[in-house]
Amino acid sequence: MSAAESHVMVDVELKEVTKESWPEVMNLAFKLEQGGLVAPNFYRVREFKAEPTFVQLAIFHEENVVGFAMYGLDPDDGKYWVYRLMIDVDQQRKGFGKAALIKLIDMMSELPDCDEIFVGYRPENFVAHALYMSAGFKRTGQMLQGEYIARLDLKEK
Ligand SMILES: CC(C)(COP(=O)(O)OP(=O)(O)OC[C@H]1O[C@@H](n2cnc3c(N)ncnc32)[C@H](O)[C@@H]1OP(=O)(O)O)[C@@H](O)C(=O)NCCC(=O)NCCS
């Protein structure tokens, strides 16, 4: 049984960001900035790139974009990271973040060279902490650029 099947979850779909979904993604990133939920300029890429370094995913619920996440192999450390998991302010606390993270983990588990996943979050971000811990991530004890680093060992799943 996959991680996704072992949870009763709201329905979300992860689809690569396209030119069409890009404005909606930017809108929710902007709302999060304005709400103080993410640092100003948290999301710096203002233009859609057809071939980004990391895979950019729009999180859909019933045809609407409710969130965004990005993952990929960081060329600096050769490790797989999930970056910028975010859910629209008006759509938070409905289970979308958790459902999207579980789907993303399942998706990344299928990659032939991915046996661990790293994330970073600010120490005061207790929601991100709870979310990642509930999905099986454990803090490494490391801090990078003011963020706690946590790791999920896919071999233990
Ligand atoms: C972190 C974030 C993605 C969570 O998304 P979400 O859809 O609101 O989360 P969910 O509804 O799936 O809840 C996930 C878990 O966090 C808990 N949680 C969510 N919001 C909470 C809050 N405001 N207070 C306390 N707990 C909260 C839930 O209880 C849930 O835990 P569970 O396993 O017990 O159900 C969202 O808050 C967000 O976009 N934050 C801003 C960006 C960010 O901080 N990203 C992560 C670091 S880069």
d(CA 44, CA 140): 27
Tell me which residue has its CA closest to atom 40 in ligand 1.
86
Please check whether residue 99 lies inside any domain of the structure: yes
d(CA 146, CA 60): 30
Please check whether residue 125 lies inside any domain of the structure: yes
Q: How far is ligand 1, taken at its centre, from the CA of residue 120, in Å?
A: 14
Please check whether residue 22 lies inside any domain of the structure: yes
Please check whether residue 91 lies inside any domain of the structure: yes
Please check whether residue 65 lies inside any domain of the structure: yes
Quick one: 68 exposed, middle or buried, by C-beta within 10 A (0-12, 13-18, 19+)? buried
Selection from 129, 69, 75 nearest residue 105 by Cα: 69
Q: What proportion of the chain, given as a percentage, has pLDDT over 90?
A: 62
Tell me which residue has its CA closest to atom 28 in ligand 1.
93
- What is the pTM assigned to this prediction? 0.89
Q: Name every protein residue with a CB atom under 6 angstroms from any ligand 1 atom.
A: 32, 37-38, 84-87, 92-98, 121, 125, 127-128, 130-131, 134
pLDDT band at 6 (very low <50, low <70, confident <90, very high): very low
Strand order in the sheet with 55-61: 13-16, 55-61, 64-74, 79-87, 116-121, 147-153, 138-144
Most confident region among 4-13, 18-27, 77-86 by mean pLDDT? 77-86
Q: How many domains does the chain have?
A: 1
Are 105 and 80 in contact by the 8 Å Cβ rule? The answer is no
Tokens of 32: 């999060």
Q: How far is CA 120 from the centre of its chain?
A: 10
Residues in the chain: 157
Q: What does the pLDDT average to over 114-143?
A: 96
Q: Is the pLDDT of residue 33 over 80?
A: no
What are the tens digits of pLDDT across the range 44-67? Answer: 555 556 556 789 899 999 999 999
Residue-level pLDDT at 23: 84
Please check whether residue 4 lies inside any domain of the structure: no
Q: What is the CATH number of the domain that holds 95?
A: 3.40.630.30
Residues in CB range of 142: below 8 A, 6 or more apart: 148, 149
d(CA 1, CA 7): 10
- Residue of 92, 125, 133 to mutate, ligand 1, most atoms within 8 A of C-beta: 92
Residue-level pLDDT at 41: 55
What are the tens digits of pLDDT across the range 71-115? Answer: 999 988 999 999 889 999 889 999 999 999 999 999 999 999 999
Could you tell me the residue range of the domain that residue 136 belongs to?
13-156
Please check whether residue 2 lies inside any domain of the structure: no
Phi-psi region of 79 (alpha: psi -120 to 50; beta: other; left: phi over 0): beta
Please check whether residue 7 lies inside any domain of the structure: no
Residue-level pLDDT at 1: 47
